[in-house]
Amino acid sequence: MAPSLVVHARRGAAVLATAAALSTAVVPAAVAAGSPSPAAPGLYGTADPKFDGVFRQSLAFMAQSATGVVPAKQAVDWLAGQQCADGGFPGYRADTSKACDPRKDEFTDATAAAVQGLAAVGGRSEAVKKGLDWLKAHQNEDGGWGYQAGSPSDANSTSIALGAFAAAGQDPAKEAAKGGKNPVETLLTFQLGCDAKEEGERGAFAYLKDDKGLRADNLASAAAALATRGKGYLVEPLKKDADQPVKPLECSGDDPAKPKDAAAAAEAVDGYLVAATDKNGGYLLPSMPGAPAKPDQGNTADAALALAAGGHRSAAEKPLKWLQSKESGTAEWAKDQPGRLAKLILATRAAGGDPRDFAGTDLVSQLNATGPAPEKKATGGMGTKEEEKEDDSVTVNVWWIVGVGLAFGAGIGFLISGRKKKQQL
């Protein structure tokens, strides 16, 4: 197989799980509409958790924490119980008494998301520490992370891993440096600069590097926009008067320069996200090559969250407005889907909106209904989580990144059977 095809096969496998739960495009029924697992008490959602159980549970915890809801102990126990003996997490495992196969069952994105989710609810410092140790042990020599141990570093997995350290109150540039390689600097090598083939791709991040060079990717760009700011899914709401202008990457002549630091990189990718959403009237398209050019609600929610994290209220409100429109079909897209509901909650809250009134819909109540009854529900407004005092070693300043992708077309059978990717949302 040609190198570029190998790269795309790996990439497609890496985002297959997110497609089933968060993509707007069509995926095979065997992937998208699996039956609920009878062996998953405490798990949010009734769709087959095979690919996204850990990730959707983690996102749900972050969204509940952000809105003053304390998840049931049974639900937290379920997520903590998914952790493998070495600290890694699978996409989902039905039989937790069976040992994990580190080569097949454990994934960077699932592990990093679980660390963030458990840090958000508090009281699970040992599980959080083990997860971080696993990430350090499976970091690539270049300082980044791939979707699985041994796979090439990609911008999306690296971004989510950086968020795990931030969720635990650690500076990933220091705590996750490997062999002198700063993982934040490694992430910046995926960004397109002034030498991008298309002017509209300047500032974007590529998902992977291959023999054809860097190519703009919406999934990677939204994730990296958060990571370069040391933030993730749980972003603090914008203040009422906060509305920083977006500053796209400025280029003169044939200058091939890229942003020189994380702050400049964050501004540049925000500029890309604004241009990309404006081009389509408020939404982003799927990232996978060959996917139909239809609006992608998951990518669009990620963009709104990233722009809010940058302090760009007006820019973030545009994709949120589209998501709330009837034409977007977002209400039906998110119905009974905990991961999708969580994404909308986190983006809406970060942009200063009320997720309990998302175009007349109470997203928080809908999310709570997908799992065991919470221990505590906020009575109104944004609410504030009551942190568990027993966990003093882990900070609950949680962020995300996650990403959504699409495995599509005739090759999907190969991706499922050949790569057996089990991770993410």
Give the tens place of pLDDT for each residue, 390-399.
Answer: 333 333 333 3
pLDDT at residue 257 in the model: 78
pLDDT at residue 377 in the model: 59
Long-range contacts of 95-101, Cβ-Cβ distance < 8 Å, separation of 24 or more = 95/39
Q: Which string of b and e fits 273-283 if b means at least 16 CB within 10 Å?
A: bbbbbeeeebb
Q: Which residues contact 275 (CB under 8 A, 6 or more apart)?
A: 200, 248
CB atoms within 10 A of CB 410: 7
Contacts (Cβ under 8 Å, ≥6 apart) of 187 = 144, 155, 158, 159, 162, 205, 224, 227, 228
Q: What is the pLDDT of residue 210?
A: 84
Task: Identify any residues that bridge with 206 across adjacent strands, giving them in sequence order.
Answer: 216
The answer to whether residues 224 and 185 touch, using CB atoms and an 8 Å cutoff, is: no
**Whole-number pLDDT of residue 255:** 66
Q: How far apart are the first and last CA of the chain?
A: 28
Residues of the chain with pLDDT under 50: 1-20, 22-39, 379-425
CA 259 to CA 266: how far, in whole Å? 9
40 Cβ neighbours under 8 A, 6+ residues apart = 49, 53, 78, 92, 94
Whole-angstrom distance, CA of residue 144 vs CA of residue 131? 16
Task: Look at residue 8 in the predicted model and tell me its pLDDT.
Answer: 42
Cα dihedral sign for 259, 222, 114, 353? positive
Please provide the size of the chain in residues: 425
Residue 275 CA to residue 200 CA, distance in Å, equals: 7
Give CA torsion, residues 55, 61, 62, 64, to 10 deg: 140
Q: What is the pLDDT of residue 2?
A: 42
Amino acid at 164: A
Question: Does the global pTM surpass 0.75?
Answer: yes
Q: Would you say the C-alpha torsion 306, 308, 314, 316 has a positive or negative sign?
A: positive
Q: How many CA atoms lie within 13 A of 65 on its CB side?
A: 26
Instruction: Give the distance from CA 343 to its chain's centroid.
Output: 9
What pLDDT score does 291 carry? 83
Find, among 407, 408, 404, 388, the residue nearest to 396 by Cα: 388
What is the reported pLDDT for 37?
Answer: 46
